Structure 1
Amino acid sequence: MSSSSPDERTLVLIKPDAVRRGLVGEIISRFERKGLQVDAMVQRTLNEDFADQHYAEHVDKPFYPPLKTFMTSGPLVALVLSGDQVIEVVRGMIGVTDGRRAAAGTIRGDLSLSNRENLVHASDSVDSAKREIGLWFPELV
């Protein structure tokens, strides 16, 4: 299913901690209630090579090895969402990276108490959204 409107698109990953905790439906329903469209969705488990591709800009950083271990630890759900200013809207909805500091009402603020196991990833710009969607859903580009 794809959006026929000129709306912006973003990639969201519902991370392994959220899948383990049974929060996939809760997270998707928040996006849908906001009025965002789910254009594509897949559940998969990342292998190390794909994790390195997705997080290419972070592979040499000290925080990356434990992030890679976490992101390859179990299934996750990848979504392409579309809507008016969807990148900015989604990033506002998920909250700051550290769930302990995220505002109440955000996904991380309501549901996460961790910096690394923070439930969701969302593209941070139009360029990263295009790159990430192309990696995860090449049929959409």
Structure 2
Amino acid sequence: MEQTLAIIKPDGVSRGLIGEVILRIERNKLKIKAMKLIQMSKTQAQGFYAVHRERPFFQSLTDFMCSGPVVVMVLEGENAIKRWRDMMGATNYKDAAEGTIRRDFATDIEKNVVHGSDAPETAAFETGYFFNALERV
């Protein structure tokens, strides 16, 4: 079974979308193997998004991700990475398919409600960034 990281971003948490996102995850038969509500520091957000350090959006992204609490989850299932990414929709919500989380709830390209790993190597790094072995069931 494949695992991936899912994050409900500060805009999703502040807008009361935690339950809606979890409902969609469960309806799509992905198992939540770990979950917690956290508040990232700027340093933690920069470490998590270090791969984007040279990109022009790095500062605004890391500022946003530490602007409020987020829900981090480890999801598990067959093809979990692709399935979660399909559920999220395109990064730019205007390009996202109908019925995806981002199409339904995002307000701009940065405030797009959710994050998900894009590859097995990324998923391994990202899940390990937030969860140790004892926190996963």
TM interval, short-chain normalised: over 0.9
**Distance in 2 separating the partners of 1:52 and 1:66:** 11
Give the equivalent residue in structure 1 for 2:41: 47
Give the equivalent residue in structure 2 for 1:3: none
Alignment-mate amino acid for residue 89 of structure 1: R
Give the equivalent residue in structure 1 for 2:63: 69
Give the equivalent residue in structure 2 for 1:110: 104
Alignment-mate amino acid for residue 135 of structure 1: Y
Give the equivalent residue in structure 2 for 1:30: 24
Write out the 4+ residue segments of structure 1 that deviate beyond 4 Å after TM superposition.
Answer: none
Q: Percent identity?
A: 43
Contact 1:16 1:74 in 2 (8 A): yes
- Structure 1 alignment gaps of length 5 or more: 1-6
* 2:66 corresponds to 1:100: no
**Distance in 2 separating the partners of 1:48 and 1:69:** 7
Task: Calculate the TM-score normalised by the size of structure 2.
Answer: 0.95
Structure 1 position 15, deviation (Å): 0.1
**Distance in 2 separating the partners of 1:74 and 1:100:** 24
Number of corresponding residues: 135
**Distance in 2 separating the partners of 1:125 and 1:135:** 15
Contact 1:40 1:81 in 2 (8 A): yes
Q: 1:16-43 CA deviation, whole Å, 9 max, x = no partner?
A: 0000000000001101011110000010
The CA RMSD over aligned residues, in Å, is: 1.1
Structure 1 position 53, deviation (Å): 1.3
Give the equivalent residue in structure 2 for 1:121: 115
- Structure 2 alignment gaps of length 5 or more: none
Alignment-mate amino acid for residue 66 of structure 1: S
